[in-house]
């Protein structure tokens, strides 16, 4: 789960990590009174979860009150388009006014889970403010990585590797080391999957300060972080994905014309691939989970049908312990209940498959049985012709 920069900075503040003074604003009316209390220069920053907001015009540095007013009015409420938002962009509902800082230098610092080494990796670079992927590919020798064992925690020799690697001025090392230690503690305590500070400023006073803050929290850990869970801003979520999540369904919209409903994430991905190989575009990923009850199937239908692009549906269920007759009955009931009018290809496998097929055939609905995956693929190809 991503949180906004201003929220991450609030967590930074609580953890004792220096950030610039800032004020959040949701309301155009309040812009003048807020600005009246700020010293110039000030940065006005769109609070959106999508990355790349700087290039999209979502961050403006203002040197005068007038400039600040204009910038804030421009950004708050704008439809911000970045590389990650798609063409329609995302509405800016919150902005952050942040005190300008006099700095000597900008660094890059991040921490994330390394799944291959099963530890936490700290990445740092002298090239603050730049895209780290670019730095990594062009000047890999300027990237310093440190792998931290989660049980042992951060060790002094690891801090020294960062400090020597960044060629920090001795006057800054203590302030830097303190920040890294606090950030690492925050990473652990908040169950982060990513924390990124880019840029991390070295100020003219030889202290360090987080000018930006990006935080992603492991969704599996949210049960123990009610405070962070409450920070979730669903306004940038896809409406259908949010509705599916509310029903405990894993749904991702893909933009094609053939909806699919599958039990199990791996089989759901393979089903998307199969639809594509049949010459049509998958409309979605939808994993109804291991159980696939009649209620799940009904909710799945509703979600798929809410996507206006969908022209047909492929149900691919490997029943496993679930009996096919029960599943078929669920599909028929749900189809009637939602008033299904689109063609549906059903491929199911497992116990009582014959009885299940019989139920579908008898239903009078436009439900076609596929005998296997290849048969299903040819039915899908026909469906859209």
Q: Catalytic positions, please?
A: 108, 196
The helix or strand, by DSSP H or E, that contains position 307, with its residue range, turns out to be none
362 interacts with another protein by CB under 8 A: no
Compare residues 20 and 282 and give the one whose CB is closer to another protein: 282
Least distance in angstroms from the C-beta of 112 to another protein: 10
Least distance in angstroms from the C-beta of 361 to another protein: 22
Compare residues 21 and 238 and give the one whose CB is closer to another protein: 238
76 interacts with another protein by CB under 8 A: no
99 interacts with another protein by CB under 8 A: no
138 interacts with another protein by CB under 8 A: no
List strand residue ranges (DSSP E) for 164-239, in order: 192-203, 208-210, 214-217
What Rg do the C-alpha atoms of the chain give, in angstroms? 26
Give the whole-angstrom CA distance, residue 65 versus residue 42. 9
Question: What is the size of the binding site for another protein (CB under 8 A)?
Answer: 62
Binders in 106-125 for another protein, by CB under 8 A: 113, 115-116, 118-120
250 interacts with another protein by CB under 8 A: yes
Decide: 257 and 309 in contact? Cβ < 8 Å.
Answer: yes
Least distance in angstroms from the C-beta of 83 to another protein: 11
226 interacts with another protein by CB under 8 A: no
Least distance in angstroms from the C-beta of 235 to another protein: 18
Compare residues 223 and 227 and give the one whose CB is closer to another protein: 223
Binders in 152-191 for another protein, by CB under 8 A: 152, 155-157, 160-161, 164, 188, 191
351 interacts with another protein by CB under 8 A: yes
Residue 287 is classified by DSSP as E
- Sequence-distant (6+) residues with CB within 8 A of 385 are none
Give the whole-angstrom CA distance, residue 262 versus residue 274. 12
377 interacts with another protein by CB under 8 A: yes
Distance of CA 133 to the CA centre of its chain: 18
Decide: 254 and 260 in contact? Cβ < 8 Å.
Answer: no
Task: Give 141-148's long-range contacts (Cβ < 8 A, gap of 24+).
Answer: 145/121, 146/121, 146/122, 147/114, 147/117, 147/119, 147/120, 147/121, 147/122, 148/119, 148/120, 148/121, 148/122, 148/184
Compare residues 29 and 116 and give the one whose CB is closer to another protein: 116
Among 39-47, 98-106, 121-129, 316-324, which window interacts with another protein (CB under 8 A)? 316-324
Give the whole-angstrom CA distance, residue 154 versus residue 43. 33
252 interacts with another protein by CB under 8 A: yes
Compare residues 31 and 254 and give the one whose CB is closer to another protein: 254
- Sequence-distant (6+) residues with CB within 8 A of 289 are 248, 249, 250, 263, 264, 296
Least distance in angstroms from the C-beta of 222 to another protein: 9
Residue 35 is classified by DSSP as H
The helix or strand, by DSSP H or E, that contains position 73, with its residue range, turns out to be helix 65-75
Binding positions for another protein, rule: CB under 8 A: 84, 113, 115-116, 118-120, 133, 147, 149-152, 155-157, 160-161, 164, 188, 191, 193, 218-221, 223-224, 250, 252, 254, 262-270, 272-277, 282, 285, 287, 290, 318-321, 349-351, 372-374, 376-377
């Amino acid at each position: 789960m991503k949180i906004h920069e201003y929220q991450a900075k609030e967590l930074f503040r609580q953890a004792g990590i220096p950030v610039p003074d800032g004020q959040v604003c949701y309301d155009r009316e309040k812009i003048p009174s807020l600005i009246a209390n700020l010293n110039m220069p000030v940065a006005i920053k769109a609070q959106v979860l999508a990355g790349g907001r700087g290039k999209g015009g979502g961050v403006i540095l203002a040197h005068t009150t007038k400039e600040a007013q204009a910038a804030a009015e421009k950004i708050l409420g704008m439809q911000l388009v970045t590389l990650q938002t798609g063409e329609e962009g995302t509405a800016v509902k919150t902005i952050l006014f942040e005190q300008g800082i006099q700095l000597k230098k900008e660094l890059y610092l991040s921490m994330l889970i390394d799944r291959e080494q099963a530890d936490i990796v700290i990445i740092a670079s002298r090239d603050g403010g730049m895209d780290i992927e670019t730095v990594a590919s062009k000047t890999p020798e300027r990237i310093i990585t440190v792998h931290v064992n989660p049980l042992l925690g951060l060790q002094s020799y690891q801090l020294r590797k960062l400090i020597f690697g960044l060629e920090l001025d001795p006057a800054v090392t203590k302030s830097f080391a303190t920040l890294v230690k606090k950030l690492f503690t925050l990473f652990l305590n908040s169950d982060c999957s990513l924390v990124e500070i880019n840029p991390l400023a070295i100020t003219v006073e030889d202290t360090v300060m987080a000018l930006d803050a990006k935080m992603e929290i492991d969704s599996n850990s949210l049960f123990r972080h009610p405070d962070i869970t409450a920070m979730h801003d669903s306004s940038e979520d896809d409406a259908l994905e949010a509705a599916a999540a509310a029903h405990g369904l894993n749904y991702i919209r893909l933009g094609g014309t053939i909806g699919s409903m599958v039990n199990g994430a791996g089989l759901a991905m393979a089903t998307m691939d199969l639809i594509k190989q049949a010459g049509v575009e998958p409309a979605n990923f939808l994993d109804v989970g291991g159980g696939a009850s009649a209620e799940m199937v009904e909710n799945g239908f509703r979600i798929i049908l809410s996507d206006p692009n969908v022209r047909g549906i492929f149900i691919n269920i490997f029943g496993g312990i679930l009996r096919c007759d029960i599943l078929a009955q669920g599909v028929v009931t749900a189809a009637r209940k939602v008033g299904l009018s689109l063609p549906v290809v059903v491929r199911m496998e497992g116990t009582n498959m014959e009885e299940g097929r019989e139920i579908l055939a008898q239903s009078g609905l436009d439900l076609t049985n596929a005998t296997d995956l290849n048969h299903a693929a040819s039915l899908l190809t026909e469906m859209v012709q």
